[in-house]
Structure 1
């Protein structure tokens, strides 16, 4: 059964059994989980934060950005969770999946390069060396 709406449940730890149509979010551990919106029953886990997805909780419902692309799952579903609604998108081609994975690597490399450079990073290294 296809899911068209998601409701939010804030948790500290992810439950072992997930309910369809529920987006579980642990802000403490910066992670989210839900069952695939196509209804296949696959558990979808997303890391929250600068290297993962952005989570917002609006009045109509939760949002995750960017899209959920289940390229490693048999269903290959692709959708957004926007204000509590599941917004379906076309499946990616293999070339688009590969490009997206390469873009993630570039984003991660840039993030860590910026974290490890500049005066703030040097100050942090000096501070940690003195401990």
Structure 2
């Protein structure tokens, strides 16, 4: 059953058993975890950081950015979480997934190279 709404729950640690209606957020571990919104039961872990997902909490609801693409799961679901609402997005072809991952890896490698140069300069 597709979920259209998730309730955010701030926790210190993620529970062993996830309620499919909840988005668990651990600020201690900079992680948000939920059961896949498609209903397949897979656990979706979204690390929160500048290079991964960003969490916005407005005092009443939460949003995650960028979108959640479960390309490694059989369901291959793709959605956004905006103000506790699941906004379903288009499915991506395997070619598009590979292309976006390659682009992200390239950006990561370029920034790592840039910072290693800076470290050598400013030793």
TM alignment of 1:56-75, pairs within 5 A: 56-75=56-75
**2: distance between equivalents of 1:117 and 1:37?**
42
User: Alignment partner of 2:92: what SS?
Assistant: coil
TM-score, normalisation: structure 2: 0.89
TM alignment of 1:18-57, pairs within 5 A: 18-57=18-57
Which position in structure 2 is the counterpart of 1:8?
A: 8
Q: CA deviation at 1:43?
A: 0.4
Q: Deviations over 1:23-82 (max 9, x none)?
A: 111112111110000111110011110221111112441111000001111111000001
Aligned-CA RMSD value? 1.8
**1: distance between equivalents of 2:26 and 2:67?**
19
TM-score, normalisation: structure 1: 0.84
User: Alignment partner of 1:46: what SS?
Assistant: strand
TM alignment of 1:72-87, pairs within 5 A: 72-87=72-87
Q: CA deviation at 1:106?
A: 1.8
**1: distance between equivalents of 2:70 and 2:32?**
15
- Structure 1 unmatched runs, 5+: 127-131
Q: CA deviation at 1:2?
A: 1.2
**2: distance between equivalents of 1:108 and 1:86?**
28
Give the number of equivalent residue pairs. 123
Is 1:100 paired with 2:100?
A: yes
**2: distance between equivalents of 1:31 and 1:69?**
16
